[in-house]
């Protein structure tokens, strides 16, 4: 019997969608990682809006995320009374080749939930098209000023 060559692992379905995408404001982003069986992990990195955290960078990790075909959903953990839910799809954008900015878009409804001091929850939904970052650009917190 001949020793088997090590085979490259089979790519995870949807893993080509993994990467960084723009978020609401300049300098903010969402990191999406597609894992086995359509499980999605990641986080939103955004500027705080409250008086106590205004201008500070907040990372909100996904509490749950799922990719079925090109249908993507995720919900973030709550940070300072705010969390996000995305329901939409991954679509081809205007980027010409894989690795270009906006090669993929996360298109759908982004809902921002907030809970006030009286534990009253309110929500605000908007339609978004979050562009994938170019593959050779990975901003760090220090560079996003």
Dump pLDDT digits (tens) for 10-31.
678 899 999 999 999 999 999 9
Portion of the chain with pLDDT greater than 70, in percent: 87
Domains of the chain: 15-133 (2.40.128.30)
**What pLDDT sits at residue 12?**
81
- How do residues 65-94 score in pLDDT, each as one tens digit? 999 999 999 999 999 899 999 999 999 999
Query: What is the C-alpha to C-alpha distance for residues 141 and 145, in angstroms, rounded to an integer?
Result: 8
Q: Give mean pLDDT, residues 40-52.
A: 91
Mean pLDDT of the chain: 89
Query: What is the DSSP track for 37-72?
Result: GGBEEEEEEEEB-STTTBT-EEEEEEEEEEEETTEE
* Model pLDDT, residue 144: 42
- The span from the CA of 142 to the CA of 144, in Å, is 6
């Amino acid at each position: 019997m001949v020793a088997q060559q090590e085979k490259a692992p089979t790519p995870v379905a949807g893993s080509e969608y993994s990467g960084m995408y723009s978020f609401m404001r300049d300098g903010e982003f969402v990191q999406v990682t597609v894992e086995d069986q359509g499980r999605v992990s990641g986080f939103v990195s955004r500027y705080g809006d409250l008086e106590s955290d205004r201008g500070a960078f907040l990372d909100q990790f996904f509490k749950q995320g799922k990719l079925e075909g090109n249908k993507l959903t995720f919900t973030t953990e709550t940070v300072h009374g705010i969390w996000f839910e995305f329901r939409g799809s991954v679509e081809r954008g205007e980027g010409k080749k894989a690795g270009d900015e906006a090669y993929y878009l996360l298109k759908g409804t982004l809902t921002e939930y907030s809970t006030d001091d009286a534990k009253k929850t309110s929500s605000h939904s908007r339609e978004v098209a979050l562009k994938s970052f170019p593959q050779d650009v990975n901003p760090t917190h220090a560079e996003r000023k």
